[in-house]
Amino acid sequence: MSTDNVVLEDPSSSHRVYIGDSIGCLRVAQCDPPSSLPKDFAGPSIRPLILPNFKSHSDHAVQRIATGVLGSDTYVVALARKNATIDVIQIINQSLPSTSTAPAPSSELQANILCTVYETQMKAGIHRFIGLAVSTQGIYTITSSGIFRFTPISVTSAGTETNATLGEATVIDILPSPLQHAHFYPPTDPTHFCYGGEDVPLSLWHIPTSLSDQPPEGDMSVESAKTDDLAGLNSKQRKRKRQLEAKTKARELVWGEVWRAKNLPNDNLSLPRRANITATCILALTEEADGLGESSVIAVGTKDGLVRIFQPGGPSRRHVREMRVVPAGQGAVKTLCASSSALDSTRGGLLFAGDTGSKLSAVDWQTGAVVYAYKGAGQVGATLSMTVLPDDKSEALVTVSSDSLVRLHSTVPAGLAVPKPGMSAEKGEAMWSKMMASSTTQSVHAMPTAVVWDGVVPPGLKGVKDGEEEEEDEVWANMQEVSGRDGRGAKVNGPADGVAEDDDDHDEEEDEESEPEAAKGNGSNGKAKRKGGKPAQPKKSRK
């Protein structure tokens, strides 16, 4: 099978991203760290990867993109398309993601379509793909109609050619619908996924359990027992019993589901409130099989412009924090993306949120504050997809939006973005914006719809992070001496949770959660004050 080559700019010192567009093409770009970019940089080349025997068309528009390694050494990019198909594309000469020092990537990339997976239960143009992931054994997909499918793929190599064989797919069609968004964790070789919708609360699933055989249950005997229990009851008692059974059944987790969020409390008119979930993002899960633990965190964006934070391992199934990212009535949260150091309380904690308008914000999910927004980027369309490029001085963020531009944004750690006494806050900025095809060319206009990092840390950037951390530690130490308090800004941030007051009327578990959190915050502030005090005073008082 013939292929075309693509030559890229110095891949040994820049991150590589793959981009899918509205006519089904696959493109690639090299993104240098923001700290190394010259002033007024116009952006890198965004080059197409020619797919043999493929004709671009709007029916082939890319809805989701994912990367991974099939088997042990076959690097692939999966494209979930509008026409209910998933093309699994082999990228030849692409380095494999590894934590060890990898050789410099080859400057020539080649693309072959290994196989195509068909989603037979998806109606093209009506339903859409809301989740996609690649594992070493196959492809995971989730559709808006509530279909979860795992398609095993076995890869064999014969000389220079690689062949793929599709196995029998495992389909789970009991997910609620319609769904708006799903997220796999980790992005490659996932063990869990979550989903949500406008009428579907957040739910977390364990993939190995959901794909295993469910033990048999005596459903018929249970139904007959229920019927016998209703025999001696009057009509009002039978109705009440059926209502209680329906509520109990709704709370029960299905096979493979490990946690489900509680419905929002009713409004002031005692009417049910919708979940309104439009985006989901798993920040971290614990190493337990079910993923439930105190450090497990999931964020969701809503149709009314809110971001809610859930802790599946906590005592309550309701959200622990709520923050407004989009002003009321001005749009919804379109997409979410977490910092690579999301659980670092001093240098991480950022969650990037793009709305349906033209705004992109950085949120400190641990305090509930919007620490900064990207202004002056010239963006006039909604952010459709984004990915974080780690292991840079302050990371970098690549976004694609409906104004047909690809952008690279610099980021600022949450600890530096929150203003300190006598200091101004730092903010990220758009380093460059680039249209995929020049207006002077004869190519068909296409809009980028999805972007993903290839997962490889460039060899030229390895070994730099440790020295930068030492430099930042010195900055924190100087700030602590100047301010006379904890330089991390614990007192400035403080504990924050945006849970509505009426939640306590419906669920007393919220009180049990908030008290220890507040106590912890007060304790840390008190410690910081004692740190800045004079040691001579307590000695005199003891005498």
pLDDT per residue as tens digits for the range 139-156: 999 999 999 999 999 999
**Closest of 97, 105, 80 to residue 20, by C-alpha:** 80
Residue pair 376/410 in contact (Cβ under 8 Å)? The answer is no
- The reported pLDDT for the residue numbered 105 is 52
Spatial CB neighbours of 535, under 8 Å, sequence gap ≥ 6: none
> What is the pLDDT averaged over residues 249-267?
85
Q: What is the C-alpha separation between 78 and 275, in angstroms, rounded? A: 30
Contact assessment for residue 349 and residue 366, using Cβ atoms and an 8 Å cutoff: yes
The yes-or-no verdict on residue 334 having pLDDT over 70 is: yes
| pLDDT tops 90 at residue 7 | no
Q: Which of 13-27, 311-325, 522-536 has the weakest average pLDDT? A: 522-536
* pLDDT tens by residue, 393-402: 678 999 999 9
Measured torsion, CA atoms of residues 416, 418, 424, 430, in degrees rounded to the nearest 10: 70
Residue 428's contacts (CB-CB under 8 Å, 6 or more residues apart) are 362, 372, 374, 394, 397, 409, 410, 411, 412
Which residue would you say has higher pLDDT here, 220 or 73?
73
Determine the 3-state secondary structure of 211 from DSSP.
helix
- How far apart CA 451 and CA 43 sit, in angstroms, is 16
Provide the pLDDT for residue 527. Answer: 41
Q: Residue 483 pLDDT > 80, yes or no?
A: no
Q: Which two three-digit tokens encode residue 108?
A: 């020539």
pLDDT at 376: 59
205, 256 Cβ separation under 8 angstroms: yes
Cα 59 from chain centre: 26
Cα–Cα distance measured from residue 479 to residue 106, given in angstroms and rounded to the nearest whole number? 44
Residue with tokens 């990371």: 395
Residue 369 confidence (pLDDT) above 80? yes
Band of residue 360 on the pLDDT scale cut at 50, 70, 90: very high
Per-residue pLDDT tens digits for 219-228: 433 333 344 4
The one-letter code for the residue type at 489 is: G
What pLDDT was estimated at residue 536? 44
Contact predicate 165/156, CB 8 Å = yes
| 3-class SS of residue 249 | helix
Residue 244 predicted with pLDDT over 90: no
Rg of the chain over Cα atoms, rounded to whole angstroms, equals 26
CB 191 within 8 A of CB 206: yes
Whether residue 356 contacts residue 382, with contact meaning beta carbons closer than 8 Å, is answered with yes
Neighbours of 225 (CB within 10 A): 10
∠ CA 15-16-19, nearest 5°, is 140
* Residue-level pLDDT at 219: 40
Q: Do residues 470 and 38 lie in contact, with contact meaning Cβ atoms separated by under 8 Å?
A: no
pLDDT tens, residue by residue, 181-209: 999 999 999 999 999 999 999 999 999 99
- Assign residue 249 a region (left: φ > 0; alpha: ψ between -120 and 50; beta: otherwise): alpha
**Given pLDDT bands bounded at 50, 70 and 90, which one contains residue 157?**
confident
Backbone angles phi, psi at 347, to 5 degrees: -125, 0
On whether the CB atoms of residues 265 and 317 are closer than 8 A, the answer is no
As a whole number of angstroms, the distance between CA 202 and CA 316 comes to 13
Choice between 129 and 488, residue whose per-residue pLDDT is larger: 129
- Angstrom distance (rounded) from CA 306 to CA 386: 19
Share of the chain above pLDDT 70, in %: 73
By C-alpha distance, which of 331, 376, 371 is closest to 349? 371
Mean pLDDT of the chain: 79
For residue range 109-138, what is the model confidence (pLDDT) as tens digits? 999 999 999 999 999 989 999 999 999 999
For residue 91, name the pLDDT band (cuts at 50, 70, 90). very high
Q: What angle do CA 338, 426, 329 make, to 5 degrees?
A: 60
Q: Token digits for 184? A: 């796999």
User: Residue 252: what pLDDT?
Assistant: 81
Sign of CA dihedral 10, 14, 15, 18: negative
The SS3 of residue 165 is: strand
Residues 6+ apart with CB under 8 A from 495: 367, 517, 518, 520, 521
- CATH architecture of the region 6-213+257-527: 7 Propeller (2.130)
In the structure, what pLDDT confidence band is assigned to residue 444 with cuts at 50, 70 and 90? Answer: low
Residue 179 pLDDT exceeds 50: yes
pTM, 2 dp? 0.79
Residue 368 binned pLDDT confidence (cut-offs 50, 70, 90): confident
Contacts of 253 by beta carbon, 8 Å cutoff, 6+ apart: 259, 260
Cβ–Cβ under 8 Å, residues 446 and 402: no
The reported pLDDT for the residue numbered 203 is 96
Q: Which amino acid is at 144?
A: S
Task: Give the type of residue at 469.
Answer: E
CA 126/CA 143 separation, integer angstroms? 11
Residue 284 CB neighbour total at 10 angstroms: 14
- Distances 152 to 111, 134, 164 between C-alpha atoms, Å: 21, 10, 10
In the predicted structure, residue 496 carries a pLDDT above the cut 90: no
What's residue 475's pLDDT? 47
Query: Rounded to a whole number, what is the largest CA-CA distance in the chain?
Result: 89
Residue holding tokens 């979410």?
A: 336
Across 473-498, average pLDDT: 43
Show the tokens assigned to 196.
Answer: 């949500």
Task: Say whether pLDDT at 523 is over 90.
Answer: no
